[in-house]
Amino acid sequence: MSTIAFDTVRSHLAPRLRQFGLPVRVTLPEGATFDLGDEPLIVLILRKPGILRRLLLGDVVGLAAAYVAGDIEVEGRIEDIIEVGILLAGRLGKYGRLGRLLSHLPRLPRQHSKAADAAWVRYHYDVSDAFYALWLDQRMIYSCAYFENGDENIDRAQEQKLDLICRKLRLSAGERLLDIGCGWGGLLEFAAERYGIEGVGITISRNQYDYARRRIAERGLDEQIEIRLQDYRDLPADDQFDKVVSVGMYEHVGRSNWPSYFATLWRLLKTGGLMLNHGITTTDPRGGSRGPAGGGFLDKFVFPGGELPHISRVLQELARQGFDVLDVESLRPHYAATLVRWVRRLEAQEAPAVQLAGEGRYRIWRTYMAGCAVAFARNWLSVYQVSAGKCAADGMLRRPWTRRHHYVDDVLPVLAGALDWEVPSNL
C-alpha cells in the first residue's frame, strides 16, 4: 500500500471506523498501523492490500478465508478473535440487514448421493487420526460431551456422555446395538465393555473404519463388535437390532434425505426397541441460521454438504414413522464447554497439528470450533438427544415410569418387574 493510500486510510477511514469502538489494531502490508478503538484486544496483520476492503465491509467469511490462506495473521486469544469477528459483522457489515434477512431463509437442499456424501464426510474426517488424537479424548469421541459440574476434563466428560446414552437406551448384556455413523468406534467399545452388548457400527470414513477395527481388535472385542464401511442406505432390509443409536450423524444426511434416514431407523429397530438420535440443530424454526453469517465458511472449509434441522423437524420426522418419543434433552451448554476444551487442547498442540494436517487445516479447525463455541453459548445453535421407542401393534411400549434410570445406579434391576403398563379392565 502506498504512502498516499495509507494517508487516506488514516485521515478518512480510521476516524470513521473508530466510532464503532472495535478493540482492533490493524497492521497494513507495509507495516503502518492504526487502531479501531481503545485498548485493542487483537491485532490484524494484513498481508495483501485487498484484504482491507473485506475488513471495511465486515465480511467475516471473507476474512476467515483470508486467514486460512495466510493472507491475514491474527494475534490475540481465540475467544477475543471470535468476539471481534461478531462485532465486525454487526457494526461494519455494509449489507448487514440484508445478510440478517437471508440468514433466516433455509438454504436450497443439496443432492445427497452416496458418492457425494462419502466425499464430503471423508474431506472432514479422513484428515489424520493422529491429528484428531491430539485434542480429542482417549476414546476419540467427536461429539458433545456431558458435564455434571463443569469442572471435568474432556476424558471424564465424554465417558459421562457415553454412559448417559447407554442408560437412556437401557442397554443390557446380549442386546444387539446398531451405531449409525460410529466414528472411531468409542461408543460401541464403551457399551461392549460396560454393558456387555453385541454391536454393529457403520461409517463411510475410511480412516475411521480402519482405526475402529484395529482398536476393537486390540481390546479383544472383535467377537462382540463388527465395524462396517457402509452407507446407512445400504443396511440390509432384514437386519434387526434391539437398540439403535446415532450420534452426530444426521447433520450429514441432508434435508432431502431426512425422511428416508428416520425411516431406516424405524425399519432396523425391533418392535419394543429403543433408539437415540443425538445431533446439532439450528434454533431458527424455519431452518435458517442465526448469528453472523458464518455458514459459507463452514460449507466451504469445514462441513461441505452439512444441513441442520430445527428440533421440531426431528420430532416431526420421528412422528411420521410412528416412533413414541420418550425424552428430549438439550445439551447446548455442554457443547459450548466441549468446544472450548477442544480448542484449548488443539492450541496447546499447534506444532504437531500443523505438521500432521497442515497450517490451513489447523487454522480452519481452530476458527470453526471457537466460533461454534460462541454459537452454542449464544443460542444460535443447539444440540439434542432424542430417545424414542417402537411400540407394539397395540401401542404399548415397556418403559420406566420416571427418568431416574438416566442417572441412578442399579435402578433398572429394581424396577424391572414394574415396567410393563397395565391397562385397566374398565377401559
- Ordered strands of the 72-75 beta sheet: 33-35, 24-27, 42-46, 72-75
Q: How far is CA 194 from CA 7, 288, 376, in A?
A: 68, 40, 31
Catalytic residue among 144, 166, 372, 391: 372
What's the grid cell of residue 68? 486460512
Question: How do the domains of the chain map onto residue ranges?
Answer: 3-94, 114-408
What's the grid cell of residue 206? 475410511
Separation between Cα atoms, residue 419 and residue 20, nearest integer Å: 61
From first to last of the 427 residues of the chain, give the pLDDT tens digit: 444 455 555 555 566 666 667 788 888 887 888 888 888 888 988 888 778 777 766 677 777 788 888 888 888 887 787 777 777 766 655 444 434 443 444 454 556 566 655 665 555 666 789 999 999 999 999 999 999 999 999 999 999 999 999 999 999 999 999 999 999 999 999 999 999 999 999 999 999 999 999 999 999 999 999 999 999 999 998 899 999 999 998 888 888 889 999 999 999 999 999 999 999 999 999 887 776 655 567 667 776 656 889 999 999 999 999 999 999 999 999 999 999 999 999 999 999 999 999 998 898 888 888 888 888 988 989 999 999 999 998 888 988 888 888 887 654 443 444 344 444 444 4
What's the grid cell of residue 378? 449464544
CB 279 within 8 A of CB 248: yes
Kindly report the backbone phi and psi dihedral angles of residue 75, in degrees, each rounded to the nearest multiple of 5, phi listed first: -110, 130
Q: What would the pLDDT profile of 364-399 be if each residue is shown by its tens digit?
A: 888 888 888 888 988 989 999 999 999 998 888 988
Q: How far is CA 323 from CA 186, 371, 393, in A?
A: 27, 35, 12
CB 88 within 8 A of CB 66: no
CATH architecture of the region 114-408: 3-Layer(aba) Sandwich (3.40)
Separation between Cα atoms, residue 258 and residue 246, nearest integer Å: 13
Q: What is the DSSP string of 307-373?
A: ----HHHHHHHHHHHT-EEEEEEE-HHHHHHHHHHHHHHHHHTHHHHHHHH-HHHHHHHHHHHHHHH
Count of Cβ atoms closer than 10 Å to residue 246 Cβ? 23
Separation between Cα atoms, residue 32 and residue 29, nearest integer Å: 7
CATH class of the domain at 3-94: alpha beta
SS3 of residue 200 by DSSP: strand
Separation between Cα atoms, residue 314 and residue 97, nearest integer Å: 30
CA atoms within 13 A on the CB side of 394: 6
CB 40 within 8 A of CB 25: yes
Residue 419 pLDDT = 44
What's the grid cell of residue 250? 444426521
Q: Cα angle at 269 between 267 and 274, to 5 degrees?
A: 140
Separation between Cα atoms, residue 117 and residue 111, nearest integer Å: 9
SS3 of residue 121 by DSSP: helix
Q: What is the DSSP letter of 389?
A: E
The residue type found at 329 is: E
- Between strands 381-389 and 324-330, the pairing is antiparallel
Closest CA relative to residue 65, chosen from 233, 258, 299: 299
Separation between Cα atoms, residue 187 and residue 216, nearest integer Å: 11
Give the H or E element holding residue 43. Answer: strand 42-46
What's the grid cell of residue 62? 471473507
CB 215 within 8 A of CB 184: yes
Active site residue 144: no
Residue 89 pLDDT = 66
Q: What is the DSSP string of 136-155?
A: S-TT---S----SSS---HH
Separation between Cα atoms, residue 299 and residue 303, nearest integer Å: 5
